[in-house]
């Protein structure tokens, strides 16, 4: 009887359990520590450390797509730094385990999904936490696929498109970082002013700073959406975009002091971004030695992958941070996907097409053919003109001959008559 050896799958799945578990433990313990330091505060009332642990658990659930309830208010915006640490740790662990089969990927997905489900069932955090089960499984599967990409994703077309995708994401990352730095520098006075409203002392200030740091990658996601045009919302009725700003009363969060003021925006930045990616497409193609068809396919795939990745990041940066208006925060993933294709992918594809040697050979061939046709048309016109002149000359000669014969006949008749008269 044939037996199925699942030892590798079990080892890999067991290794994948640690990152989400320790991330949950860190957030739950942090919530308990904060509760311990502020337990005497009147607003806490009859709150216990178990309630604090459930609050930390619910907050952890938001990293994977769940929601938690704080004072009856639903909060679902993911602390993206925690998610980034979880994904990076999982990737590092799985790289050491050398993921090589799809069964191992499935094992990782099941393991991380089960960790989320078990913690949720045992602690019962408030809010709709159960979507985090699917988020945990999806994050585990994608991370495992990427960890074993040399074996699992060893498709030639993907290998050719990946360097271009990395280039597009790197360029956009540099521009996004520059936008965040400029926003922080220009809005620093507002940031410090809002921070000063909280008379929380040294410990409270440190806690407020740390709380904002766990959402720092979300700031970059919002800046990316701002650059590409669709923008992002901080509450219903607001939109912050490079094309313009529509604002409303905002929550007193220091980092929000870096948001641009209401105005018409900077539409010219879109033209700069288009030129940048057009240039990148041209430079990348000039260095490549592939055929035009392959270069266009690679550029199109890179544009598509980039748009998908940016849309996923936009989904991570979207969620609720409060009641009513604040239930809508972040960019719309579908809009980010479309604008990424239009602002990033299309210029990159056009740059690839314009600079490729086969394109220039085709254009030169068309130009030569056009010149040849013009010369041929001019030659045919000259020949037609010469033939027309010959016909005209022939007709004139015929007319002259016919006129001369009549003249001779008439002259002969006159001479004959004259001769007769003389006789």
CA dihedral of 175, 180, 186, 192, whole degrees rounded to 10: -170
Q: Which pLDDT value is given to residue 416?
A: 46
Q: Which pLDDT value is given to residue 294?
A: 86
Q: Which pLDDT value is given to residue 414?
A: 44
Q: Which pLDDT value is given to residue 127?
A: 87
381-to-363, 374, 375, 378, 392 alpha-carbon distances in Å: 27, 10, 10, 5, 16
Bridge-partner residues for 70, per DSSP? Answer: 73
Q: Which pLDDT value is given to residue 400?
A: 58
Residue 271: enclosing H or E segment and its boundaries?
Answer: helix 268-287
Residue 329: enclosing H or E segment and its boundaries?
Answer: strand 329-330
3-state secondary structure of 154: coil
Query: What is the rounded CA–CA span in Å between residue 228 and residue 33?
Result: 40
3-state secondary structure of 330: strand
Query: What is the rounded CA–CA span in Å between residue 161 and residue 123?
Result: 44
Query: What is the rounded CA–CA span in Å between residue 97 and residue 113?
Result: 19
The answer to whether 68 and 56 have CB atoms below 8 angstroms apart is no
Instruction: Report residue 47 as tokens.
Output: 């709150």
Q: Which pLDDT value is given to residue 398?
A: 63
Q: Which pLDDT value is given to residue 35?
A: 78
Query: What are the residue boundaries of the structural domains of the chain, listed by start?
Result: 1-154, 159-355
The answer to whether 96 and 75 have CB atoms below 8 angstroms apart is no
Taking only the tens of pLDDT, the chain with its 423 residues reads: 455 556 788 889 999 999 999 999 999 999 888 877 776 555 555 678 788 899 999 999 999 999 998 878 889 999 999 999 999 999 999 999 989 899 999 999 999 999 999 999 999 998 899 999 999 999 999 999 999 998 998 888 888 899 999 999 999 999 999 999 999 999 999 999 988 888 767 777 888 889 899 999 999 999 999 999 999 999 888 999 999 998 888 888 999 999 988 888 899 999 999 999 999 999 888 876 678 888 899 999 999 999 999 999 999 999 998 888 888 899 999 999 999 999 999 999 999 888 877 776 666 666 677 777 777 777 777 777 777 666 655 665 566 555 555 444 444 444 444 444 443
Query: What is the rounded CA–CA span in Å between residue 196 and residue 380?
Result: 87
Angle value at C-alpha 20, between 16 and 23, nearest 5 degrees: 140
Q: Which pLDDT value is given to residue 186?
A: 93
Residue 74: enclosing H or E segment and its boundaries?
Answer: strand 73-75
Please give the biggest Cα pair distance in the chain: 164
Q: Which pLDDT value is given to residue 420?
A: 46
| pTM of the model as a whole | 0.83
């Amino acid at each position: 009887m044939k037996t199925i050896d699942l030892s590798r799958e079990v080892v890999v799945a067991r290794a994948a359990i640690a990152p989400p578990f320790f991330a949950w433990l860190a957030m739950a313990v942090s919530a308990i520590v904060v509760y311990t330091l502020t337990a005497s505060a009147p607003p806490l009332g009859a709150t216990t450390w178990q309630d604090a642990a459930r609050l930390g658990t619910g907050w952890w659930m938001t990293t994977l797509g769940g929601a938690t309830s704080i004072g009856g208010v639903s909060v679902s915006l993911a602390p993206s730094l925690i998610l980034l640490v979880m994904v990076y740790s999982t990737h590092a662990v799985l790289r050491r385990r050398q993921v090589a089969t799809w069964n191992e990927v499935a094992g990782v997905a099941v393991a991380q999904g089960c960790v989320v489900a078990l913690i949720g069932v045992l602690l019962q955090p408030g809010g709709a936490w159960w979507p985090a089960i699917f988020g945990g499984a999806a994050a585990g599967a994608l991370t495992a696929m990427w960890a074993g990409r040399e074996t699992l994703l060893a498709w030639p077309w993907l290998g050719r498109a990946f360097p271009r995708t990395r280039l597009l994401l790197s360029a956009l990352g540099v521009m996004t970082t520059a936008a965040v730095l400029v926003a922080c520098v220009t809005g620093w006075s507002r940031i410090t002013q809002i921070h000063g409203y909280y008379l929380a002392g040294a410990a409270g200030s440190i806690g407020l700073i740390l709380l904002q740091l766990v959402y720092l990658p979300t700031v970059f996601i919002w800046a990316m959406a701002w650059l590409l045009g669709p923008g992002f919302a901080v509450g219903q009725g607001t939109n912050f975009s490079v094309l313009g700003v529509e604002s409303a009363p905002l929550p007193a969060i220091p980092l929000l002091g870096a948001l641009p003021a209401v105005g018409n925006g900077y539409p010219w930045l879109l033209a700069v971004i288009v030129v940048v990616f057009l240039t990148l497409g041209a430079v990348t193609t000039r260095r490549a030695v592939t055929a035009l068809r392959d270069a266009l396919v690679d550029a199109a795939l890179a544009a598509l992958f980039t748009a998908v990745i940016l849309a996923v990041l936009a989904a991570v940066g979207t969620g609720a941070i409060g009641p009513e208006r604040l239930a809508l925060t972040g960019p719309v993933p579908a809009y980010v996907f479309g604008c990424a294709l239009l602002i990033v992918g299309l210029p990159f594809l056009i740059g690839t097409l314009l600079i490729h040697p086969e394109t220039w050979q085709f254009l030169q061939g068309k130009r030569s053919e056009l010149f040849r046709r013009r010369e041929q048309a001019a030659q045919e016109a000259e020949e037609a003109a010469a033939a027309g002149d010959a016909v005209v000359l022939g007709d004139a000669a015929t007319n002259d001959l016919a006129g001369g014969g009549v003249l001779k006949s008439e002259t002969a008749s006159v001479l004959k008559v004259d001769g007769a008269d003389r006789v």
